[in-house]
Structure 1
Amino acid sequence: MRRRRGLTEEERELWSRVAASAQAMHPARPEMPAALTPPPREPVVAPKSLAKAFRVGEKARPRTGHDLAPPIGEGLAALPVVMDRKAHRNMVRGKLEPEAKLDLHGMTLAQAHPELIHFVLTAQDRGHRLILVITGKGKPGRDDDPVPQRMGVLRHQVPHWLRLPPLGAVVMQVTEAHLKHGGAGAYYIYLRRLR
């Protein structure tokens, strides 16, 4: 680190002569008379807030899950009635007894799909018109997943399978079952006549 060198006596004398001959670029402003000075401001007090104190999320309801699609029963009920209206009304009211039943409880999608195809085609071969497929309502999945999971995978998948080949040509009408036959956890399937 370099040490600063001080000014010599000759340099100080020269500097004082230069400083005495210099003029200020901006002369000092004249002071305002006392009458024109603004009065001192009072401190600003913030008004009291009318809003109640709150905690974020205090009124939020517990999350119960999402289902972005309308309920399956609503979708099936909105479809046009293809079968005899009187038979459809009796079927929906639970007055018709299914001729065969299939319970898919506890099966995976891979197990249930071939089982459903076999059951429906066999029922048609035997001349049955009304059959019942029980899917169950399903268990709620994990709720911590960022993508909403549907409750009851089989319940949502079975109506889709019934519209696809080879079952689409065999099935005439699908509706949610009456409460006495399983309600939202089961489906009535009305089959076409075998020709």
Structure 2
Amino acid sequence: MLPMPNVSPAGPPMAASPLTVAVLEIDAYASNLGWDQPARLFALVDTAQLRVQEPSLAAQLGLEDPGSSVAALTPIEQDELPPGTALDDFLGTIAWPDAVVGCAMTVERLMLPPSAEASVPDGLSDKQLTQWVAKHPDRQEVRMTVAVLRDGARESAVRLREKDSPTEVLTGAGLVPGLAEALAATFES
């Protein structure tokens, strides 16, 4: 496991849930790394339990003071995803220990507006579709950060490359349902 530096976004909404705070923290971390990054996977652990069960890791992450205003969930970046492995295949290999209460992932993708769906040529393979989208004049580069908890809670943050600003991040539980489902499946036995 690679500890993620404690990076705070410009400030989460005042009534933000711990999961929303964690998603925004991961989004800010990914933003600091810049664009054209590989997908990144994070374990989400309960900060209070982390202090008790792993005090040296908590100290390394700057979480040793229980009186400080740290988030209730601590994201811990995992090792890099194996190069050349399909995301779905990789996620199917994950098993989390009980101490992990949730997980999150950041991925960059090209997206098209809904108006472009009608112009997609029929019969394209996945590779051909990817190439077609990459050449489409209305494509948008996005970074999606999706998190799920064992209890089923979900949150997402989506950032457009052309509007790369902490104030331009869209959040919501249902923004990236496919990735949320895939992450939730990592907790199924």
Q: Which structure has the greater CA radius of gyration? A: 1
Normalising by structure 2, what TM-score? 0.23
Determine which structure has the larger strand proportion and give its number: 2
Normalising by structure 1, what TM-score? 0.22
